[in-house]
Structures are given as structure tokens and as C-alpha cells.
Amino acid sequence: MGNRSVRSLMHWTIAALLALVLAGGVASLTGGVLGAVSQGVNQVLLGGARLTLTRVHRLMPTVTPPPGPPPGLVLGYLADPASDPGAVALLQSYHRVINGIIPFWYTISADGTVTGSTNTSVLDYAHQQHWYTLALVRNMAGASVFGPLLASPAYRARAIAQMLTLVEKYGYSGVNLDWEGIAPSDRNAFSAFVRTLASVFHAHHYDVTLSIPAETADEPNNGWTGAYNYQALGRSADLLILMAYDQHNASSGAGPIAASSWVRAVLSYAIATVAPEKIVLGIPGYGYDWSAAGTMALTWQQAEDLAVQYHQATGGGHFTYVAGGRVHTVWFENASALLKNLMLAAGFEVRGMALWRLGIEDPKLWALIQR
């Protein structure tokens, strides 16, 4: 599909969003829980037995690989453990509003080995819905993992082979790399790895996508974002999902999770370096509670419950309260804040959006995205 078709569909989607929010419907969702974290919302544990993947043995029905990512993407990260018996019921509540999922089930080690567990019932349901599905392969340990992996031809080859095995075995549309904390010194090595990975995957008609830190300028020496060369990665990957959240986080002072002014700067930089049809805006469904005792991650519902308990208004997405003699400051993302950022995404004509994560967000969001 050409750029004009993609752009037209994104504009149509936002027009539908505005009509629906004015109509005021609210989708009914199964709630999720986000626990306390100290190093960012992606630090979650995977449940279930660990499985080492060594060769292709298809477990899912044959699914014809799609010719690249569809336009107008509305994706959701699924961080529930693969052993969760309620995962399919959770997805069923989203069947009218999303068109793809990114299960958070797999881990890569320094030697390129991919492990994890797979909920085949979830993938069966996704395939029945004709959803775009990405196998997220992650590690949050940073340079201690990715330094050795990127430096070794044998480890790189193993990583590519095992990720291809994973995608083929379970009928995914492609892979998503959530490789966080790569050292800036490995910037070129990571770009080269993604180029090779894409070459292999594209030969087998699978997509390569990346979840990457949001940035507003290229800073090659930045300890958090320096390893991610948007321009080089955008030439190879099919999609770059910008993690446009944690502007303020567990290790910073209190403040917005994804202020519209910051998101605008993120998108402005991204489309100056990468074709907008390769950009997906990551949006957050969560918040934080900061106090002298530490920082707690909150779901939207948990933030609302705190506001009710302490008689605080939440319209602006933030409030303060006092408990145990300590002042707490809460910032969180509600449907109104998310709408502003979705409007920005439409204005920049990007490919779509991806919610971190399903089950923790303001359910009124989905009245904006009914299709």
C-alpha cells in the first residue's frame, strides 16, 4: 500500500476517534495489574516453564505471512505471563479495537539463546482475528548481555536462527526486539545486526520491528539512547516503535509520563530521520506514585482509586496526597492525555500506535479507537 493510502487511513482513524469520544461510549475491559517497579515499567517477570528453541517444528496452523505490516496499526503489548489462563479472555475484550499484539514472553541471553514460554491459545485467538503478531524478544540487562552477543559472530548467528525458529514455529508475523541498555559503543554493531536480521527475515517473508527509546535528537554518546541510530535502523527494520513514555520515571523526579510537548518533539525528530510509515507511537497506560519512600508504578485504575481515597481530582492526570506523614505525587495517563498524543501521531502521519500494556489503561481510551 502506498504512502497516500497509509496517510488517508490514519486520518480516517483519527476522525473516527473524535466522533466516538464525542459520542461518549466506553469499552468494557478486563482489568490488569501492574506491580511496583524500581527500574521502569518493562521490568516484569515472565511466568511458566522456560523453553529453549533449537529447531523449527511448527505448532500452530500454517499462516500465510503478510506482505509487511498493515496500515493503521493499533497494537497492544501483552505482558501477562504465557501461563496465564485469563489471557484469551483479556484479548476478547479488545477484539473490536486492536489489530495486533506483541506478547512479552521471550528472553535472549548473551550467547544468542532464546528462551521463554508460549501461550498457544493466545496465538490461536489472534490468528482467528487476523491480527498482526510480533514475538517480542527482550533483555533488560544491557551491556552485559548485548556486548558479548553483538561481538560474537557465532552468538549473532544463533540469535538470528533461534528468532527465525520462534517466528516460524508459532506463526508470528515477525519479531520485535526490545533490547534496552545497549552500550553507545555498540551503536554500529547493533545497526549491523538489525541489517543482517532483516535480510534473513525478509527472505522468509517475516517482519523485523524494534521497540526503541524515545529521543528528541541524535546523541551517540547518551548512555540510554546512544546505541539506537534511528536513520540506520529505519533503513533495515519494517517498523520502529517509539517508547514515548517514562519521560519521568522511577529513577527521576515526579512529572508527566508522556507530556504532549515532549511527544511532539520525539515525533518531530523521528520523522526527520525515518519515513513516517515506519514509525509507530508507543503510548503508556500507566502512572507513577513518587514519595520519599520510593516510586510505585500504578495502573490507571489504581491511580483513580487513590484519588478517590484521598479526595483528589484527577482531570489533569496528576494529584498529590499525604499518607503516613509523607507527601505523594502521582502522575498518570488518562484517556484525555492519550487522545492528545494520538492526535499528534495523526498529524505526523505515522503508521499507528502501540499501547504499553493491555489491561492497565483508562478504558475510555477504546471509545476513541472503535473501528
* pLDDT one-digit tens code per residue, 11-43: 444 444 443 433 333 333 333 333 333 333 333
Q: What are the residue ranges of helices labelled H in the chain?
A: 3-23, 87-92, 120-128, 143-151, 153-170, 187-203, 230-236, 260-273, 300-309, 335-347
The DSSP code sequence of 311-332 is T---TTSEEEEEETTEEEEEEE
Distance CA 191, CA 162 (A): 19
Judged against a pLDDT cut of 50, whether residue 53 lies above it is answered with no
In percent, the amount of the chain with pLDDT more than 90 equals: 79
Cell of 173: 508475523
Which band of pLDDT confidence, cut at 50, 70 and 90, is reported for residue 80?
A: confident
pLDDT recorded at residue 243: 98
Would you say 286 and 299 are in contact if contact means Cβ atoms under 8 Å apart?
yes
pLDDT recorded at residue 45: 23
Judged against a pLDDT cut of 70, whether residue 139 lies above it is answered with yes
User: Which residues, 6+ apart, have CB-to-CB distance to 217 below 8 Å?
Assistant: 269
Would you say 132 and 74 are in contact if contact means Cβ atoms under 8 Å apart?
no
Burial of 62-100, coded b for 16+ CB within 10 Å and e otherwise, reads ebebeebbbbbbbbbbbbbbbebeebeebbebbeebbbb
Judged against a pLDDT cut of 80, whether residue 54 lies above it is answered with no
Distance CA 75, CA 350 (A): 13
| Rounded average pLDDT over 170-189 | 98
pLDDT recorded at residue 58: 54
Judged against a pLDDT cut of 80, whether residue 194 lies above it is answered with yes
| Sheet of strand 318-323: strand arrangement | 294-299, 286-291, 326-332, 318-323
pLDDT in tens, 271-283: 999 999 999 999 9
Judged against a pLDDT cut of 50, whether residue 302 lies above it is answered with yes
Would you say 52 and 115 are in contact if contact means Cβ atoms under 8 Å apart?
yes
| Per-chain mean pLDDT for the chain | 86
- Which whole-number Å values give the CA distances from 233 to 26, 50, 93, 117, 260, in the listed order? 38, 30, 34, 28, 25
Closest to 94 (Cα-Cα) out of 76, 82, 79, 80: 76
SS3 of 253, please? coil
| Rounded average pLDDT over 339-357 | 96
pLDDT recorded at residue 4: 43
Give the residue extent of every domain in the chain. Answer: 3-30+45-285+336-367
| Rounded average pLDDT over 253-261 | 98
DSSP character for 31?
A: -
Which band of pLDDT confidence, cut at 50, 70 and 90, is reported for residue 368?
A: confident
Q: Are strands 106-108 and 318-323 parallel, antiparallel or unpaired?
A: unpaired
Judged against a pLDDT cut of 50, whether residue 3 lies above it is answered with no
Which band of pLDDT confidence, cut at 50, 70 and 90, is reported for residue 68?
A: confident
Judged against a pLDDT cut of 70, whether residue 363 lies above it is answered with yes
Would you say 202 and 160 are in contact if contact means Cβ atoms under 8 Å apart?
no
Instruction: Read off the pTM.
Output: 0.85
Q: Domain 3-30+45-285+336-367 belongs to what architecture?
A: Alpha-Beta Barrel (3.20)
| Rounded average pLDDT over 206-218 | 98
46: enclosing H helix or E strand: none
